[in-house]
Chain A
Amino acid sequence: MTLLVASAWLAPTHPVAAQATGVIQGRVQLEAPPPRRRSANRYPGGSAETHAIQSLPAVAYLVGPINAGQGADSEARAVMTQRDTTFVPSVVFLRAGGSVSFPNDDPFQHNVYSYSSIGTFDLGRQNPGSSASKTFAEPGILEVFCEVHDFMRGTIVVSENPYGAIVGADGSFRIAGVPAGEYTIAFWQSEHEPLQQTVTVTGGGTATVQVQLRR
């Protein structure tokens, strides 16, 4: 489902034919989580223990402004729905300056917030059926939570270009239609240390990146 949404989002990113583009593909290896021995949230009232925490895939995206030509504004609006006490989709890509709306599809209240430095926000209590949206100007990563259901996890990638991809369950990713050039590619996963490295894309070529994210 997540991948499907991601694909749908990636489809219009194919640039105009005049520009020579290439593909970045590769594999992201995630360090296995250590045994989670303890948590301060084990006390009565905490719901993290009773629900499985919503899993978040890793993402790969290019950092910095890239002239992508047409369709650049198509990601200025994104939707992250609260449905079945999960964020759907769990990852959204958003062009810096764009806004994300958070409709509540569940028949109960949610309270979406984030303490991420690029955009601390708190939507307050959202009644069923209501929706609120936030605009994010600064590029970076936003971790989104629900105060009521602290097992819900969401990620918003705010970037200055449309090139990004969700890493599949097998660890592979593919970003196509990238104009030839040298870029910084960033990898992020909520429970791992973020990682950045440079990648050179040639016209019609395929750049391969292999990384391992550490905790």
Chain B
Amino acid sequence: MTWFRESFGAKLLAALGGTVLLLLIITFIVVRRETARQVDIVTTRAISSAERLFAELTELQRQQAAQLARPFTEQRAILRLDAQIQGDDFVLMALEVDYEMQRAGLPDALLVFTDAEGQPVLSIIQGESILGADPAGIAPIAEELLASDEIDATAYRLVDGRLYSVTSLYIEDLAGRAVGTITFGLPIDATDVEDIGAIGGFEACFHVEGRCVVGTPGVDAELTALMNEAVSSGVPLRTRAGGREIFITPELLDATDPFQGLRVTAVPLDDVLVPFERIQQALMFGGGGALLLSALIGIALSRSLTRPMRDLVAATGRVAEGDFGAEVNVTSQDEMGTLAKAFNDMTRGLLLRERYRAVLNKVVSQDVAEELMRGDVELGGESRLVTVLFADIRGFTPLTEGMEPQEVIGLLNECMEHLSQAIDAEGGVVDKFIGDEVMAVFGAPVTQNDHARRAVASAVRMRVGMATFNAVRRSRGDQPLAIGVGINSGVAVSGNMGSSNRMNYTVVGDVVNLASRLTGVARPGEILISGATLRLVGPGIEAPPLGGRALKGFSSEVEVYAVESLSDDRTRSADGSPPVGPPRSNDV
């Protein structure tokens, strides 16, 4: 199940296959129900047609019997019969009846006369006359007929192995008195049944006294056994016989008299079933094909969907690990393509941002860069209290005279590297390099409450750094370099300045100018700060005043202090050397 929950392909397959399967199942159910309905219609129709046909046969035989009985029922015959019955002259009567039957061409018909009480006085069965007895079992029919208001009655009788459809007619004399009955029986022969079976399209047999007496030619031993089964169970039977699907229905010949026997019809269902079986087969194959096709389409679709997804997931993983160069190669025009394109745009954006960050890191301290990247820094013109530091390499121009330009840049960069590190170490921002001079800002763009102290500490670091640098230079035989540092604090305008497509974050104002002027007057190795800076640094700074100085661009003299030391653990050099200057006192 986990596999299913986690696999998009499995879900897609399940959805496609499920839909096809559901459609198939519904179609199957509909076809099955329709088949059952059609079978029902066909069997009902065949059974009712069988009933109608046999009813018509019976009616036809009844009419035929009546017609044939006419010589015995017409007035003169009745008068004669009456006279013969009155006169007990049955021998003559038998002779006359036989004569009439010969005339009618019915030597094998069954003929029974009864008296007014229903007792047979003469039975003629296949040309043989029987006086008095009732070999054909006609008395019950005759008695019932005489007791009723009917003029005739029909029944089936099995006599000497032959099935007769018998019709009894009531006979009365001219005064309306009952004379008796005359019963005509016509044998139901195989030809009649065969004809009816051929017309109705079914097999049938007359089932009397536990056996099939006469039936259609198709009633073989197997079908007979099945018919017997249906007869003994008394309910319709659907089964197979001779490779055919059939529906067997037993029907009583006379609903009121089960002893007369049954008529069993076997309706073949092939005609109705075969088309439906074909449909079902077509559905099986077609459905199997559709399932297979849906599986294939599902697999292909899920592949085409999941491959770019996997690519995307993999690329996302790479992005998470910092590889912003990760791109996915999706060519499709669909939503996946759009997603991939969006992803690629995103990683490109991320890559660009990362590049910017790298560049920014080179320009500003990492903290500042982070803050800038986060967008926390407001890059607009704003007035804020900052400390500005200028550091200038003394005598750089005369020193570099006669040097190759590359050597000059190398030296400058080496020196500036030391200065930048000192600025970075204290959280300052290198504002710009101006030739052999560097400008740094503390307290902007990131607010630092101790910006003045940080600036001074940075200057002290520069001095230490330069000492180390010069030691190296001296060991190489190069001339040492000296820097002069000027620091001033005050309110300056900070913000992005420049043109619309090229901007610099910087600070401007008198604060900056004064810092620059202080640098200008600083002797090599000297760190000059203004009174404002000194006050902001607070305790722990050793900076004796040098008195007022007249500086260019400033109308009044400016009090200048030269920093000797700053007691702050952070000013310790990386190599564990003691802080520059005396230890900072905790006293204010």
Contacts and interface: CB of A to CB of B under 8 A. Distances in A.
B75 A115 contact: no
A120 B82 CA distance: 13
A107 interface: no
What secondary structure prevails in chain B residues at the interface with A? mixed
Interface string B78-122: 111011000100000000000000000000000000000000000
B83 A40 contact: no
B149 A37 contact: yes
A184 B150 CA distance: 42
- Scoring A34, A37, A40, A115 by chain B CB atoms within 10 A of each residue's CB, the highest score goes to A40
Contacts of A43: 66-67, 70, 73
A48 B78 CA distance: 13
Contacts of A215: 175-177
B76 A145 contact: yes
B70 A33 contact: no
A38 B149 contact: yes
Contacts of A143: 174
B74 A41 contact: yes
Contact of B74 (A115, A150, A191): A150
Nearest to A46: B74
Interface in A19-72: 33-34, 36-46, 48
Contact of B151 (A39, A113, A145): A39
B444 interface: no
Nearest to B78: A40
A46 B176 CA distance: 16
A117 interface: yes
A126 interface: no
Contacts of A147: 76
Given A43-B70, A145-B76, A33 B176 contact: yes
B176 A190 contact: no
A192 interface: yes
B377 to A, nearest CB: 125
A128 B321 CA distance: 138
A164 B453 CA distance: 178
Contacts of A190: 174-175
Given A36-B176, A43-B67, A190-B174, A115 B83 contact: yes
B67 to A, nearest CB: 7
Nearest to B181: A40
Contact of B70 (A36, A45, A48, A145): A45
B171 interface: yes
A40 B176 contact: no
B170 interface: yes
A192 B175 contact: yes
Given A145-B79, A150-B75, A39 B172 contact: yes
A155 B177 CA distance: 19
A40 B76 contact: no
Contacts of B174: 143, 190-191
Contacts of A39: 151, 172
Contacts of B177: 215
A122 to B, nearest CB: 9
Interface string B440-481: 000000000000000000000000000000000000000000
B149 A40 contact: no
Given A38-B170, A40-B78, A44-B67, A191 B175 contact: yes
Contact of A41 (B75, B82, B150): B75
Nearest to B169: A40
Interface in B156-192: 169-172, 174-177, 182
Contacts of A145: 75-76, 79
Contacts of A38: 149-151, 170, 172
Interface string A112-132: 010101001000000000000
Interface in B172-230: 172, 174-177, 182
A41 B76 contact: no
Interface in A96-141: 113, 115, 117, 120
A88 B82 CA distance: 26
Nearest to A44: B67
A150 B75 CA distance: 7
A84 to B, nearest CB: 20
B76 A150 contact: yes
A148 B40 CA distance: 56
Given A40-B73, A41-B73, A43-B67, A34 B176 contact: yes
A187 B150 CA distance: 33
A57 to B, nearest CB: 15
A115 B80 contact: yes
Interface string B134-165: 00000000000000011100000000000000
Nearest to B148: A38
Given A113-B76, A115-B80, A40 B175 contact: no
Contacts of B170: 38, 40
A134 B26 CA distance: 93
A34 B177 CA distance: 10
Contacts of A36: 176
Nearest to A40: B73
Contacts of B182: 40
14 contacts: A34-B176, A40-B170, A41-B73, A43-B66, A43-B70, A44-B67, A45-B70, A45-B74, A46-B75, A113-B76, A115-B76, A191-B174, A215-B176, A215-B177
Given A42-B151, A46-B70, 18 more contacts: A38-B151, A39-B172, A40-B151, A40-B169, A40-B171, A40-B172, A41-B75, A45-B70, A45-B74, A46-B74, A115-B79, A120-B83, A143-B174, A145-B75, A150-B75, A190-B175, A192-B175, A215-B176
Which A-B residue pairs are the 7 nearest by beta carbons? A150-B75, A191-B175, A40-B73, A115-B79, A38-B151, A115-B83, A40-B171
Interface of B: 66-67, 70, 73-76, 78-80, 82-83, 87, 149-151, 169-172, 174-177, 182
Interface of A: 33-34, 36-46, 48, 113, 115, 117, 120, 143, 145, 147, 150, 190-192, 215
